[in-house]
Amino acid sequence: MRKGWTILHALLAMTVLAAPARGQGSDARAAGVEQQEQGDDFYCGERKLGQWFYCTRPKAAERQKAQTPPMSASERMAAITSQLNELKSRAILDPSEENVIAYVRFQREQLDRASTFSDTWQRALWQNPDLDYTLQRPVSTVGKRAWLDNRKADRDAVLESLGQRYGLFYFYAQSCGACEIFGPILRSVADSHGMAVLAVSMDGGPNRDFPDYVVDAGQRARMGVPGRETPALVLFDTATKRTIPVGFGMLSADEIMDRIFMLTNTRVGSDY
């Protein structure tokens, strides 16, 4: 009996010694998982078999959203134009009610956008006079009439004094029918503004409006006046010795005076 108790105590003692301490079980399990993740050195380390042989735990793929750069304004306009053309072509080639309505709706959206732009443009000009070109060149009937009257007065005042510095070369031909009509017009402009005119005959024929003519002996070429078209009117600056072509062909009296005024008293681009 005593011997039985001795054996029982021995078994109990062995059971206590064999049982792991508290907390050691979880450590052992963690070590096993770690070993499983690391895998065998030969298969996973040397052969690098990867996750298909459970050497490494597969990692969840991180989805990276593709960041598309925003479209520029010109690209958006091109896309709208392309879509409008596509809808129009589709409606023409396959004129179903659905296709026609889709095209008309999209076109209406763009018309509304254009109307908004036009309205904003107009309001911006009203509130920013430095951007409003109509203040310099009116387009209304009353404003345009007043602007033309003021311009004509300035032009006439300038032309009155131009004769002191500028003269006109008038290239004509006796055989030129247009010269027969243009001669009296040029004569009236010259007389009313006191400008000297030297008529140059390209074919040697006389001129009844300018009897003190000369025959061309290379003057036109030396002055750099292109071609042999008649009538041709050239302004000559006695101060700078520079020739300024005024025009070729038929010109009215107002056209002659406007061109001379613009060529002598306005900067390029300032009158438009």
Q: What is the dihedral of CA 124, 130, 135, 139, to 10 degrees?
A: -40
Residue 161 and residue 116 share a domain: no
Residue 238 and residue 195 share a domain: yes
pTM for the whole structure: 0.54
Residue 152 and residue 113 share a domain: no
In residues, how long is the chain?
272
Does the residue 32 lie in any domain? no
Q: What are the pLDDT digits (tens) for 220-250?
A: 888 888 888 899 999 998 888 888 999 999 9
Q: State residue 37's pLDDT score.
A: 47
Rounded to the nearest 10 degrees, what angle do helices 73-93 and 97-127 cross at? Answer: 150
Does the residue 256 lie in any domain? yes
Residue 210 and residue 101 share a domain: no
How many domains, in total, are found in the chain? 2
pLDDT 10s per residue in the chain (272 long)?
554 445 555 545 554 444 454 445 555 454 444 444 444 555 555 555 555 555 555 555 555 555 778 889 999 999 999 999 999 999 999 999 999 999 999 999 999 999 999 999 999 988 898 888 887 778 788 888 887 888 788 888 877 778 888 999 999 999 999 999 999 999 999 998 888 999 999 999 999 999 999 999 888 888 888 888 899 999 998 888 888 999 999 999 989 988 988 888 877 766 65
What would the two tokens of residue 145 be?
């009439």
CATH number at residue 254: 3.40.30.10
Residue 202 and residue 102 share a domain: no
Q: State residue 36's pLDDT score.
A: 47
Q: Is the peptide bond before 95 cis (omega within 30 degrees of 0)?
A: no
Domain of residue 163, residue span: 142-265
Q: What are the pLDDT digits (tens) for 135-178?
A: 777 878 888 888 788 878 888 887 777 888 899 999 999 999 99
Residue 119 and residue 187 share a domain: no
Residue 155 and residue 97 share a domain: no
Residue 154 and residue 98 share a domain: no
104/226 Cα distance (integer angstroms): 55
Q: State residue 150's pLDDT score.
A: 84
Does the residue 197 lie in any domain? yes
102/113 Cα distance (integer angstroms): 17
Q: State residue 248's pLDDT score.
A: 92
Residue 174 and residue 86 share a domain: no
